[in-house]
Amino acid sequence: MYNNSNTLGREVILIVVTLFDESATLNSFHIDALIENGSLKIVGHDRGPVIENMYGEPEHEYFYKFTPDRTKYLYNCLKSDCLSDEDLLSLIQKLFTGNAVTRKLRDYCKMHDISFEYHDEI
């Protein structure tokens, strides 16, 4: 099943996996994957002087969001390509890691015609 959240009474426990986490001098880069209400989200938060030089602000937050239907389709594609029945977040963590996480994700989605929303906040 692709949904990695558990409900205990009214409390919802989200499972979040880290895809990339790097700190160098004064800069930090962090990317997580999670499933929220059936939708996969890839969330990034970068900060430091390098980010300020690129965006004019010291912090940059962004996320990719897949509808529940697109999340299911992505999961089916990953299971087929990997010949695996592992859960979605485990497959995401195996395939989309390192400093090129978002490029790998975009390339995979383009190859399989999987649409997503992209939100960028500076």
Whether pLDDT at 6 is above 50? no
> Residues of 69-86 as b/e, b for ≥16 C-beta within 10 angstroms?
ebbbbbbebbbeeeeeee
Tell me how many domains the chain contains: 1
Which of 3, 29, 7, 50 is CA-nearest to residue 102?
Answer: 29
pTM over 0.85: no
pLDDT at 10: 52
Q: Is 52 a domain residue?
A: yes
Mean pLDDT score, 74-102: 93
Q: Is 20 a domain residue?
A: yes
Enclosing domain of residue 20: 6-121
One-character DSSP codes across 56-104? SSSEEEEEEE--HHHHHHHHHHHHHHHT----HHHHHHHHS-STTHHHH
Q: Is 85 a domain residue?
A: yes
Summary mean pLDDT of the chain: 88
pLDDT at 13: 61
Whole-number Å distance between alpha carbons of 81 and 108: 11
Q: Is 104 a domain residue?
A: yes
Q: Is 1 a domain residue?
A: no
Q: Is 55 a domain residue?
A: yes
pLDDT at 110: 97
